[in-house]
Amino acid sequence: MPPRPIQNPKNPWHTSSVEWLEPPPKARLEVFQDASRSIVSRNDSPDLGFRWSINPYRGCMHACAYCYARPYHEYLDFGAGTDFDRKIVIKQRAAELLRATFDKPSWKGETLLFSGATDCYQPLEASLQLTRTCLEVCRDYHHPLGIITKAPLIERDLDLLRELHACTRLRVTISVPFWNVDHARKIEPFVAKPARRIQTIERLADAGLDVGVNIGPMIPGLTDEDVPKILEAAASAGARRAALIFLRLPKSVASVFEQRVREAFPDRANKILNRVRDARGGKLNDTRFGHRMRGEGPHARSVDALFQATARRLGLRTSVVPVEDEEATTFRRPPRRGSGEQLDLLA
């Protein structure tokens, strides 16, 4: 897919906006270093099944039009459009900061989710390996974790994932919102094809890992008919779990998504947007806890019923989110060199 011109919705934190007198230049990749002193974020939403998440990257080269993390880029003085896709902020000290977090007496070892916001296996990870070094820290501390990604790049770390699976609780979830390849390319342009992601599920499952599929987001009027096909393919590949999350369009995401849909699907854009409004009380988004992850109304209920029935038929466990803390933690701090502590050879 050729580079796209710079295009961002107005940043609500700016008092002025840019208007191009000529066609805007192409968006080019820029990488910035994050100087944050922390790496773990706390989540207090009752809609999610985890409290802690880690994001080694801010912004995402996958360029998914629906990504709910886009507005966070505006806090960095960037835009939520092509800036989010091409101005990537990296946390170079991610592993060091994570180890420091685990060493705090207050840290209890609750499940840590990789990719609570942006994909931890986006293309830059191939060279920077920030996610891999953080996973190595989790292995050293036997820390329970979950991973959500769209990227087959996760297969690079199969050796490390096997080690984690052997010493702690690990759940991996692969996001597959589309089955139609053409539709996927238009809305999530720089992600591997759906069938390739199913192959990743198969490879993870063959390695003995607990892997699931996330139909997130489900876009009404566009991906409804994909739901059974995704579930059938994922189950055949070895997935154990499935989740369905209705499309969310918070803040500036709504304008990014609407523009992309109108450009990509001019003949059905109104149908898609009206279906979203029908499920969101006449709006494009619903921020209420308990409602924002699932739609309302007849169409949303029918898609959810189809999802649940198909998942039951295929033997897939279902949940809104794929990470839970129903088991005791395996977390333990490794002995420090020179601390006088002895290794437990039977551990």
Q: Summarize pLDDT for 18-65 with one digit per residue, the tens.
A: 665 667 778 899 999 998 889 999 887 766 667 899 999 999 999 999
Looking at the domain assignment, is residue 263 inside a domain? yes
Q: Domain residues for 153?
A: 33-318
Longest dimension (CA), the chain: 71
Q: Is residue 112 part of a domain?
A: yes
What is the pTM for the complete model shown?
A: 0.91
Q: Is residue 11 part of a domain?
A: no
User: What CATH number is given to the structural domain containing 74?
Assistant: 3.20.20.70
Number of domains in the chain: 1
Residue 331 lies in a domain: no
Residue 345 pLDDT: 44
The percentage of the chain sitting over the pLDDT mark of 90, rounded to a whole number, equals 77
Q: Is residue 15 part of a domain?
A: no
| CA 43 to the chain's CA centroid | 15
Total Cβ atoms within 10 A of residue 62: 21
155: in domain: yes
Q: Is 305 part of a structural domain of the chain? A: yes
Please report whether residue 256 resides in a domain. Answer: yes
pLDDT tens digit sequence for 264-311:
999 999 999 999 999 999 999 888 776 767 888 999 999 999 999 999
